[in-house]
Structure 1
Amino acid sequence: MLTFRKSLFAAILLITFIVYLRSSHSASSLPSPDSVSAGHTYDDDPAKGDQNGGNKDTVQQVPLIPPPTAPLRDRLRYHFPYDLEAKFPAYIWQTWKYAPSSMFFSESLRDPESSWSELHPGFVHEVIPDDTQRHLIKYLFGAVPDVYEAYDSMPLPVLKADFFRYLILLARGGIYSDIDTTALKPASDWLPSELDLATVGAVVGIEADPDRPDWHDWYARRIQFCQWTLQSKPGHPIMRDIVAYITEETLRMKKAGILKVGKMDKTVMEYTGPGAWTDAVFRYFNNPDYFNIEPGSTLNVTYEDFTNQQGYKKVGDVVVLPITSFSPGVHQMGAGDIDDPMAFVKHHFGGTWKDDPSL
């Protein structure tokens, strides 16, 4: 006779068997870890398209998080992906010792700082004070701890200020501009209206074009791109490269025991400043992963492509602005005045970092 206990036992066996069949089927339908890893190349260049001629509707495998031992650039590419067709984020980033709400915020900086908000009413405008920067970097780069270690190990405020601009644009995008700059025109006027912004990922300006034999006594590069005002979409390859370069150089000097004032083997200009920034831009322009370079050629783009530039120049997904755009009124190297149609940002050249007695 079928008792209640026997019936209950049979029901439990049946349910267990059904659950086992379903779990076996689900496990067999999932891709193996090896197949997922093999199918992902960390290639984020949207300009390359479907190189293999395959069906674009094919379901893409979910990429694995790169391990901590993966190359730094691969980890940065994963955590801060680049979408060329996305809009430029409506952020304006600036840094200073104190926030504008502080009584210690210099009165001479209030008009320049407010000019950015006045000309960009729909933007989020943040002035990040020194005591907040490290917390923000730790939050944004928590998944890439060597970047935060590099930032936190830097022995000079100017190095951290330089590094911060690249870090914030890599992670969040938008506009970075030094606190001693005045916005002359809104960012919507920086590029011609006929230019498709879905093909632009970064905007840089020429800082110096010194056509004189002793140019190296005054500037780091023959054509020097300014880094007091920058605009980019998050994850741009140039930002990824400069962040990786500075991180690697910082940790190298730290390991060698020379990451100290007066002992570093790089100047500010070559370490985090316009020399390093200019090199990163040219590395991008000459990177065969992004540009078609003629066989046998060692360089795709050189300073000669930008000297005496008067208007816009688009190189791949980067728009290079003439010296007038971010350096109007310097009265040299062909720069126009602040009323020039191409004048967008006025730099007041406060140069407060040069007053640091440790330099």
Structure 2
Amino acid sequence: MLLPRPLRRVAAIILFGILLLSWQLWRVAAEFGFEEVQDQYPLLLKYLEGKRGNGGAWHLPEEWTQESATNPRSIIDAATVALNATTSQSERQLPHSTIPRVIHQTWKDTRLETWPEIFRQSVEKWLAVVEEGDMAYMFWDDNGVAQFVKHFEPDLEDQFNALPSNVERSDVFRVLVSKWIGGVYVDADTEPLQRPTEWITQTDILPWQDPEVGRSYRSTEPVRAIVGIEADNPPDKDTYWRMGYFYPVQLTQWSFAWAPGHPILQRFLDHVFGIVRGVAKSHGNDLRCDATQQELDGIDPVNLTGPIVFTDSVRTWLEMKADLRWDSLSGLEDGGISKLVEDVLVLPITGFSPGRGISGNMGSKPITDPSARLYHHAKGSWRKFSLVVEYGKVCRKLFGLCRDWPKVSNSNWILL
């Protein structure tokens, strides 16, 4: 039953007052939060707040900028300076590699007071690494990501923008920036346990042997890629898919490092945008029509741009180049050693995923272990709660059913 008209006016005024008060309280809280940022996070203020620019924020070692003919006015300019400064300059690359000493991070904006607290804590620690060493730093906001795609991949711009959400665009951008600029990509909810300049040791690149087939791997090439295992499970058991993984041995995307132009990166991009073009083709090649968007949105992000397609891109390339048996990368039987295959260094699960609990440990060692490079807080700020996804987790783990149910929520599913 509707309220009488006079009461409806009163209710509307009360509602407006509540909204206005809430906004004022939020604004005061934001200002208070910014004061806390000033006190607790001096490096955030120095390198992000103090060096905001067109497309994000950046830091370049002074020597690198002195060699440049132009003063960077945008993050695209800064990234180009970093690329030019690190090409063929071994002292500006990670030891034992041709990977530039550049760290990339991304988030939708550089408004520090609105960030999740864990982002502020983690990024502050990465900036300490930057300050300690001769490294460049690039923080890309949404505008910077858009500029990057338009500048470096104009033919992919429409397809990139057709991806259904920021989740997929973030997955693709970290590959694009690795392809063109190279360096170390780390999510904003990770924190360093070792400086990237310490990520590759002489022990990591020693020869190793596949115990099942007896094949030895003895590469003398400099490392051009560093990837880390996220899931490490026996291939002959159902443990991996009960835990929600597609492969028994699966790679993570919250961190990796690349020399510019590595062919695995293009393999990933060809796969992703092949799917996008295929979906659009079935709808008159219209990338933006509702039918195309709805079909793309219906694809689980882990299948479209996530760890499944990323793992598959690395796996197929290494199988082709080195006749690798993929499951030989598991660290369950050898205590978790790094394995160099061709020019790709594959870190054990402890490399990028140390400190896992008893449940779902998969051989992960404590964060104090020498093989631990970074810690991932796994906040998943982009995730939404979905009854479908949560039911699937329980169904898989307890009953061994629902294997093919979606792993990540999507706007077409029931959300709470």
TM-score under structure 1 normalisation? Answer: 0.68
Identify the residue that residue 275 of structure 1 maps to in structure 2: 308
- Contact 1:253–1:264 at 8 Å: present in 2 too? no
Q: Note the C-alpha offset of 1:120.
A: 3.0
- Contact 2:163–2:296 at 8 Å: present in 1 too? no
- For 1:119 and 1:192, the matched residues in 2 are separated by 18
Identity across the alignment (%): 28
The alignment partner of 2:299 has SS state of coil
Q: Which has the higher helix share?
A: 2
- Contact 2:279–2:296 at 8 Å: present in 1 too? no
Identify the residue that residue 180 of structure 1 maps to in structure 2: 189
Identify the residue that residue 42 of structure 1 maps to in structure 2: none
Identify the residue that residue 206 of structure 1 maps to in structure 2: 229
- The structure 2 residue matched to 1:216, chosen from 241, 264, 287, is 241
State which structure, 1 or 2, has the greater radius of gyration over its C-alpha atoms: 1
Change (3 A) 1:305 1:110: closer
- For 2:223 and 2:251, the matched residues in 1 are separated by 17
Change (3 A) 1:136 1:339: same
Identify the residue that residue 313 of structure 1 maps to in structure 2: 339
- Establish whether residue 337 from structure 1 lines up as the match of residue 366 from structure 2: yes
* Alpha-carbon RMSD: 2.5
Change (3 A) 1:357 1:313: closer
Identify the residue that residue 34 of structure 1 maps to in structure 2: none
- For 1:226 and 1:304, the matched residues in 2 are separated by 17
- Contact 1:220–1:269 at 8 Å: present in 2 too? no
Q: Note the C-alpha offset of 1:234.
A: 0.2
Identify the residue that residue 164 of structure 1 maps to in structure 2: 173
- Establish whether residue 124 from structure 1 lines up as the match of residue 170 from structure 2: no
- Contact 2:279–2:295 at 8 Å: present in 1 too? no
- Contact 1:208–1:224 at 8 Å: present in 2 too? yes
- Contact 1:261–1:358 at 8 Å: present in 2 too? no
- For 2:281 and 2:147, the matched residues in 1 are separated by 24
Change (3 A) 1:214 1:87: closer
- For 2:259 and 2:372, the matched residues in 1 are separated by 22
Q: Note the C-alpha offset of 1:307.
A: 4.5
Q: Note the C-alpha offset of 1:259.
A: 3.5
- For 2:316 and 2:330, the matched residues in 1 are separated by 15
Instruction: Count residues in correspondence.
Output: 265
Identify the residue that residue 121 of structure 2 maps to in structure 1: 111
- For 2:410 and 2:315, the matched residues in 1 are separated by 33
The alignment partner of 2:185 has SS state of strand
- Contact 2:331–2:348 at 8 Å: present in 1 too? no
The alignment partner of 1:92 has SS state of strand
- 1:162-216 CA-to-partner distances (Å, cap 9, x unmatched) read 0111111011100111111001100111111475996211000000013342421
- Contact 1:226–1:274 at 8 Å: present in 2 too? yes
- 1:278-337 CA-to-partner distances (Å, cap 9, x unmatched) read 0001111112xx33x4xxxxxx32224424151111111111100001001113001001
- For 1:302 and 1:87, the matched residues in 2 are separated by 24
Identify the residue that residue 301 of structure 1 maps to in structure 2: 325
The alignment partner of 2:171 has SS state of helix
Identify the residue that residue 38 of structure 1 maps to in structure 2: none
Aligned AA (2:231): A
- Establish whether residue 231 from structure 1 lines up as the match of residue 257 from structure 2: yes
- For 1:282 and 1:231, the matched residues in 2 are separated by 16
- For 2:248 and 2:331, the matched residues in 1 are separated by 9
Q: Note the C-alpha offset of 1:353.
A: 1.9
Q: Note the C-alpha offset of 1:131.
A: 2.9
The alignment partner of 2:201 has SS state of coil
Q: Which runs of 5+ in 2 are unaligned?
A: 1-86, 91-96, 206-218, 284-290, 385-408
Aligned AA (2:160): Y
Report matched runs for 1:337-356 at 5 Å. Answer: 337-355=366-384
The alignment partner of 1:89 has SS state of coil
- Contact 1:206–1:322 at 8 Å: present in 2 too? yes
- For 2:112 and 2:120, the matched residues in 1 are separated by 11
Identify the residue that residue 153 of structure 2 maps to in structure 1: 141
Q: Which runs of 5+ in 1 are unaligned?
A: 1-81, 294-299
* Larger RCO of the pair (alpha carbons < 8 Å, separation 6+): 1
The alignment partner of 2:230 has SS state of strand
- For 1:354 and 1:197, the matched residues in 2 are separated by 41
- The structure 1 residue matched to 2:274, chosen from 248, 270, 276, is 248
- Contact 1:113–1:182 at 8 Å: present in 2 too? yes
Q: Note the C-alpha offset of 1:114.
A: 1.7
